[in-house]
Amino acid sequence: MTTTIKIPKLGMSVTEGTVDTWVASDGATVAAGDTIYVLATDKTETEVQTPVAGVLRHLVEAGTTLPIGTKVATID
Give dist(CA 56, CA 2) in Å, integer: 10
* Model confidence at 51: pLDDT above 90: yes
Region 19-32 average pLDDT: 98
Per-residue confidence (pLDDT) for residue 10, from 0 to 100: 84
CATH topology of domain 3-75: OB fold (Dihydrolipoamide Acetyltransferase, E2P) (2.40.50)
User: How does residue 43 score in pLDDT terms, banded at 50, 70 and 90?
Assistant: confident
Domain boundaries in the chain? 3-75
Cβ pair 7, 69 in contact under 8 A: yes
Distance separating alpha carbons of residues 24 and 29, to the nearest angstrom? 8
pTM of the prediction? Answer: 0.92
What band does 19 get if pLDDT is binned at 50, 70 and 90?
A: very high
